Amino acid sequence: MNRVELEHKLNEGREWLLTTYGGLNEEELRRPRTTSEHDPQNHWSALDHFAHLALIERNFNAMVRRHFSGHTNPVGLLNDEHGQPRTREQIMASVHEMTEEWQREHRDDSYNEVVALTAAARGETLQLMSELSDAQLEETLTGAPWADGTVGGVLGANADHGRMHWHWVEKAGDQLS
């Protein structure tokens, strides 16, 4: 995917998110929809899923920056801080714990605050892209399991991530109500 296609994908994805989540009323935004993967006693709302996107986008940007600063483990998921391989269960447990902490931190944010939170993350992504050459966007991000594993692919995965979370919200419907 070239730079123009990547930027188009990110901008179109952002517009889709704003239209989709913006079409929900306050009760629909806040109703419990899915059970937490970390704490089964906790439930995520549509707004929690939307806010979550900012965390992951910021994390992807940090991974890309670590990659270009020469870090040997820029993604930091497959191996622990001592370089030892993690099991899939260990990886997912740490990811779920991190996302749960974010969800609890932003649980009471208003829709407008979540829009601003996700806008800041997307703005950071677009700024980062503007700093990278076309060749850098094509580089492999070591340890990245997303998209095609290139820097550009990982950054573009943010658009797909939003649609994936919406699918989960929509699929859950009123199951927890």
Other beta carbons within 10 angstroms of residue 32's beta carbon come to 17
Domain that holds residue 163: 3-172
15 in a structural domain = yes
Identify the CATH number of the domain in which residue 16 sits.
Answer: 1.20.120.450
* Cβ atoms of 151 and 137 closer than 8 Å: yes
Token code pair at residue 148: 């095609």
pLDDT digits (tens, 9 = 90+) for 77-104: 887 778 788 888 988 998 999 999 999 9
166 vs 177: CA distance, rounded Å:
18
pTM for this predicted structure: 0.93
Domain for residue 68, yes or no? yes
pLDDT in tens, 107-145: 999 999 999 999 999 999 999 999 999 999 999 999 899
User: How many structural domains are present in the chain?
Assistant: 1
- 175 is written with which tokens? 């199951």
Instruction: Evaluate whether residue 163 is within a structural domain.
Output: yes
- Provide the CA 36 distance to its chain's centre, in angstroms: 16
Is 177 part of a structural domain of the chain?
Answer: no
Residue 106 corresponds to which tokens in the numbers above? Answer: 């932003």
Q: Are 14 and 6 in contact (CB under 8 A)?
A: no
Give residue-wise pLDDT tens across range 136-170. 999 999 989 999 999 999 999 999 999 999 999 99
In angstroms, rounded to a whole number, what is the distance separating the alpha carbons of residues 172 and 21? 15
